[in-house]
């Protein structure tokens, strides 16, 4: 391995450590606790080293969001591929999405609530975000209904899931009724 390759690998390792540490700290104490000073202390690097990877907290949030989008896409695809039939796939997709939001609140916030400097619904949208949307579209395309644009249907279904996730996490909806909400959403929106 050349010196250049070793330096690139070490840089990538440091970057992964920064993102993992930020994510861990955010999940434990919230995003307000994530500062470059605290991250530098936790990973035992100086703040200038952090700034050589990320210009600030906003970019770190963006990196966590991209990582989370890739994880969500993989989870959605795994859940839907294991389901048999369109209705089961849509139900699995909804459960998996809501479960991801519940199990990873700081990551979910980085993806959809906080400013990570990422473009959505744009040519410049990073590939992991496009892929997460594609993971939704792949399943929802088959239940959009005649004459309904699959992308538009996916946006509406996603918005409903996001609303359920956000309102439940905020304590605005009772958490015990999640399964009933999923079934209502599938029954009323998905044409199967």
Task: Name the token pair of 14.
Answer: 């440091």
Tens digits of per-residue pLDDT, 1-38? 788 998 899 999 999 999 999 999 999 999 999 999 99
pLDDT at 1: 76
Encode pLDDT of 163-192 as tens digits.
Answer: 999 999 999 998 889 999 999 999 998 887
Residue 15 CB contacts under 8 Å (≥ 6 apart), including other chains: 53, 63
**φ, ψ for residue 47, nearest 5 deg:** -60, -40
Residues 94 and 75: their CA atoms lie apart, in Å, by: 11
The CA distance from 28 to 50, in Å, is 21
Q: Are 192 and 143 in contact (CB under 8 A)?
A: yes
| pLDDT recorded at residue 33 | 96
CB atoms within 10 A of CB 180: 10
Q: What is the pLDDT of residues 102-132, one digit of tens each?
A: 999 999 999 999 999 999 989 999 999 999 9
The average confidence (pLDDT) of the chain is 95
Q: How far is CA 38 from CA 25, 32, 50, 67, in A?
A: 9, 11, 11, 21
What pLDDT is recorded for position 43?
93
Q: Does residue 83 surpass a pLDDT of 90?
A: yes
To 10 degrees, the CA torsion angle through 102, 105, 107, 113? 110
pLDDT per position as a tens digit, 29-82? 999 999 999 999 999 999 999 999 999 999 999 999 999 999 999 999 999 999
User: What is the predicted pLDDT for the residue at 64?
Assistant: 98
């Amino acid at each position: 391995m050349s010196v250049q390759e070793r330096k690139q690998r070490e840089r990538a390792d440091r970057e992964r450590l920064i993102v993992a540490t930020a994510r861990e700290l955010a999940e434990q104490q919230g995003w307000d606790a994530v500062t470059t000073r605290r991250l530098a202390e936790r990973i035992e690097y100086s703040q200038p080293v952090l700034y050589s990877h990320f210009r600030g907290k906003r970019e770190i949030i963006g990196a966590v969001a991209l990582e989370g989008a890739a994880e969500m896409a993989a989870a959605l695809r795994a859940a839907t591929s294991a389901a048999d039939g369109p209705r089961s796939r849509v139900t699995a997709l909804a459960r998996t999405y809501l479960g991801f939001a519940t199990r990873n609140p700081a990551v979910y916030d980085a993806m959809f609530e906080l400013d990570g400097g990422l473009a959505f619904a744009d040519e410049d949208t990073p590939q992991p975000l496009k892929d997460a949307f594609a993971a939704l579209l792949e399943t929802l395309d088959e239940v959009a209904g005649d004459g309904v644009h699959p992308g538009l249907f996916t946006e509406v279904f996603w918005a409903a899931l996001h609303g359920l996730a956000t309102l439940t996490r905020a304590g605005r909806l009772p958490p015990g009724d999640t399964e009933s909400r999923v079934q209502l959403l599938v029954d009323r929106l998905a044409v199967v």
